[in-house]
Structure 1
Amino acid sequence: MAESIRERLSDVRREFHRYPEPAWCEFHTTHRLVEELRAIGVDELAVGTEVYDSDDRMAVPETDEIERWYETALERGADSGLLDEMAGGNTGVVAVLDRGSGPTVGLRVDIDALFIEESTADDHAPAAGGYRSEGDGTMHACGHDAHMTWGLATLEAIKESDFDGKLVVFFQPAEEVSGGGHPMAESRFADDLDYLFAVHVGLDHPTGEVVAGIERPLAMCHLDVTFEGTSAHAGKAPEKGDNAMQALGTAIQNAYAIPRHSEGMTRVNLGKAEAGTASNIIAERAHVAAEARGETTELKEYMKSRLTRTLKSAAEMHGCDADIDVVSESPRADSDPELVEVVADVARGVEGVDSVVPTADFGASEDATFLMERVQEEGGLATYLIVGTDHPTSHHTPTFDVDERSLKIGVEVLTNSILAVAPNER
């Protein structure tokens, strides 16, 4: 019999860490998850379009990018038949245990990585320990390698327990671009969930601390904007051009002047911009990647509408057109107090936990809120908990790492919380 996940938590997490893949390109990752899930033994296993509607995905990369990662997974030994099921970037997997007439419980973990080149410094544990990223310019710099490990180990522990009910574990792609939460929330596997647990590691909470539920995640949207103008000779006939570069500059300046709202926190950022081809050519095209956030979904919509108006006005001012694509977005959803209380009570009894924080502001955005929102709208309870870890630098940096003592803590908190809402009364 294969060694259990719970006896090799560090090894599992480190393998995921070595092979990071970005949103909708998690081919090798999904392959490895399926291998482990088959070894555990589940009642239902669904991959890609068996889980969700492919057309419902958001922030899907270009075809050539998807194909590059597909070929890399094939070279790394991923099962070709399974890869065919994920063709076109339909990654991710859902596993189901059906163990009685009790409640249906969901657990959501995310699986994608970031476009960050991991540090090679001697004092960076993955580099020193031989499990640094082997992906080209990609890295698990947000702890999703730990999240997947928790998902597998918790599923295994629940299978071996006296759990009475149904457990649905969502191994969700494309969280970093807020692209996978909505398809998962609209899938049949999200039907009739009585409880949902989502989880994150760290987030500036130290090893031994557990936050039982987050509050105030920011609703957000990502926009891709292309300004289309008219090129001209910058010296001979500048007046004949419609300058997309000027439209871009005006948009950047004016976006940050959008009035904030009296009813809560709002954010706007234009994080990536490019334009033009040469110093003597009036730029006919410019591109900017932008985002808007709000403390509530309504405030996000306010910022989104104001940002869209600002972008279009900047284009019109300089005789250009603005093509605005809403790449992805996610709502706000808060943890339910009743489920927060369950997690807090459980965490106080877990070895290694020395501090339990009932709730904390999240301050960022998360597309797990789509699943949370659906569960709550249908009468269920949801919480998004944080298992602290001592990370040497911030998330989304080349030297981010996870204190592996947190792996066991996370499994026990999740397992015991699931058992607490589905007690065996047989």
Structure 2
Amino acid sequence: MNPFVKIRRELHQIPELGFQEFKTQAYLLSYIESLPQERMTIKKWETGLFVKIHGLHPEKTIGYRTDIDGLPIVEETNLSFSSTHEAQMHACGHDFHMSITLGILTYFVEQPINDDLLFIFQPAEEGPGGAEPMLKSEMMREWKPDIIFALHIAPEYPVGTISLKEGLLFANTSELFIDLKGKGGHAAYPHQTNDMIIAACNLVNQLQTIISRNVNPLDSAVITIGKITGGTVQNIIAERARLEGTIRTLTSDSMTKVKQRIKALVNGIETGFECEAKIDFGAMYYQVYNDEKLARDFIEFVRNETKYEVIECREAMTGEDFGYMLAEIPGFMFWLGVDSLYGLHHAKLNPNEDAISVAIDIITSYITIIGNN
């Protein structure tokens, strides 16, 4: 078995949520410390890691980032190496991302290049967000790379393909939490209450008008309310309700406008239903914007220097906090085809492990070229 497939399977069994990746960090450290240490410096950051591989004649630092956390999902793959952590799963492929990164790191420990390499093992990508605070850390200030890149698995593409585009790749995203508080009471006396179930239902419908009436039709935005909670039992009118959702836009200006409209509509609900409301926009992820020249050069490299296929994709409404790093450091992210019947964040996601060696091959070849020039 490919050793990095074995690593992937072992990591798949121990998924952990954001900033709780203690076993994961320990596993990564154990493997990295088993490698020759002469040209390596390792620093912990929260539950993540910075690993620097010192080059032979460095003129720049090349950064590579992987995310390491899992999701609060009950796994349904029935794999022999399924998650051993209750109601937690690597359902977004971060086990793949980590094993690929360890493969790349191992290669350059054994086959040094001129430039320095910085491997960033980032916690909490799924939330509450580790990229932004990691970017602001003292270690990043000391070791800040000159360029940086990363990948994300793509279940819809076949193994042996990658996909990316110049410019905008992933959307701006923001969490959304709205709490409503009115006056509860007996189901037989609705006129003596302020029913927050009714208020919540009205608000959900109103929120959808933001997309159809306040966002430029040539732009793109999404508001999804994924969860509503409220009430206690069937014969009591609900005093409280909570809406939980997400906002996604292709421009930061649209995100600002959407949030302004949400605030206005919630103010209207407060007046119309004589209730109190609180809005929390939670974690926000900045758009992933690929540096045009670096992305184009990478596309040409894969087409001309490897046996793999490149598909130029469209932008997606997915979110990724790697966007914070790309806002300060030139770089790019690309999709890696893994050919799974089930998509990201699905309990049955089962990527094809052959994609691990594909990614290691592409990235080590690419870094060798740019790191020796």
TM-score by length of 1: 0.80
Distance (whole Å) between structure 2 residues aligned to residue 109 and residue 401 of structure 1: 19
SS of the residue corresponding to residue 114 of structure 1 reads coil
Residue 60 of structure 2 corresponds to residue 103 of structure 1: yes
Over residues 229-260 of structure 1, what are the superposed CA-to-partner deviations in whole Å (9 max), with x where a residue is unaligned?
2222332x544433222221121111111125
Structure 1: state its 5+ residue gaps.
Answer: 1-5, 50-90, 122-126, 376-380
Change (3 A) 1:287 1:305: same
2:101 to 146, 151, 168: 151
Residue 213 of structure 2 corresponds to residue 264 of structure 1: no
SS of the residue corresponding to residue 232 of structure 2 reads coil
Distance (whole Å) between structure 2 residues aligned to residue 213 and residue 161 of structure 1: 30
Residue 306 of structure 2 corresponds to residue 356 of structure 1: no
Change (3 A) 1:174 1:407: same
Distance (whole Å) between structure 2 residues aligned to residue 113 and residue 159 of structure 1: 27
Residue 92 of structure 1: aligned partner: 48
Conserved 8 A contact 2:155-2:339: no
**What pairs with 1:203-214 in structure 2 (closer than 5 Å)?**
203-213=155-165
Residue 1 of structure 2 corresponds to residue 9 of structure 1: no
Conserved 8 A contact 2:288-2:320: no
Conserved 8 A contact 2:18-2:128: no
Displacement of 1:200: 0.8
Conserved 8 A contact 2:4-2:102: no
Displacement of 1:148: 0.5
Residue 25 of structure 2: aligned partner: 30
Distance (whole Å) between structure 1 residues aligned to residue 99 and residue 269 of structure 2: 47
Conserved 8 A contact 1:210-1:386: yes
Displacement of 1:351: 6.1
**Aligned-partner residue type, residue 371 of structure 1:** M
Identity of aligned residues (%): 25
More divergent stretch after superposition (205-214 vs 101-110) = 205-214
TM-score by length of 2: 0.90
Distance (whole Å) between structure 2 residues aligned to residue 416 and residue 359 of structure 1: 23
Change (3 A) 1:211 1:382: same
Residue 47 of structure 1: aligned partner: 44
2:151 to 199, 209, 214: 199
Distance (whole Å) between structure 2 residues aligned to residue 143 and residue 218 of structure 1: 19
Change (3 A) 1:161 1:359: farther
Residue 367 of structure 1: aligned partner: 321
**Aligned-partner residue type, residue 267 of structure 1:** V
Structure 2: state its 5+ residue gaps.
Answer: none
**Aligned-partner residue type, residue 400 of structure 1:** L
Residue 222 of structure 1: aligned partner: 175
Distance (whole Å) between structure 2 residues aligned to residue 349 and residue 313 of structure 1: 58
Conserved 8 A contact 1:16-1:29: yes
Conserved 8 A contact 1:217-1:334: yes
Conserved 8 A contact 1:201-1:386: yes
Conserved 8 A contact 2:161-2:311: yes
Displacement of 1:211: 2.0
Displacement of 1:358: 4.6
Residue 122 of structure 2 corresponds to residue 168 of structure 1: no
2:350 to 377, 398, 401: 401
1:141 to 91, 104, 120: 91
**Aligned-partner residue type, residue 12 of structure 1:** I
Displacement of 1:352: 5.5
Conserved 8 A contact 1:184-1:190: yes
SS of the residue corresponding to residue 291 of structure 1 reads strand
Conserved 8 A contact 1:211-1:360: no
Distance (whole Å) between structure 2 residues aligned to residue 234 and residue 405 of structure 1: 59
**What pairs with 1:379-394 in structure 2 (closer than 5 Å)?**
381-394=330-343
Conserved 8 A contact 1:351-1:409: no
Count matched residues: 364
Conserved 8 A contact 1:248-1:288: yes
Distance (whole Å) between structure 2 residues aligned to residue 296 and residue 33 of structure 1: 36
Residue 294 of structure 1: aligned partner: 249
Over residues 351-397 of structure 1, what are the superposed CA-to-partner deviations in whole Å (9 max), with x where a residue is unaligned?
662x123554234221110111111xxxxx21101221111222222
Residue 176 of structure 2 corresponds to residue 179 of structure 1: no
Residue 372 of structure 2: aligned partner: 423
SS of the residue corresponding to residue 132 of structure 1 reads coil
Conserved 8 A contact 2:66-2:98: yes
Residue 338 of structure 1: aligned partner: 293
Conserved 8 A contact 2:77-2:350: no
1:232 to 182, 185, 199: 185
SS of the residue corresponding to residue 11 of structure 1 reads helix
Displacement of 1:349: 6.1
**Aligned-partner residue type, residue 261 of structure 1:** V
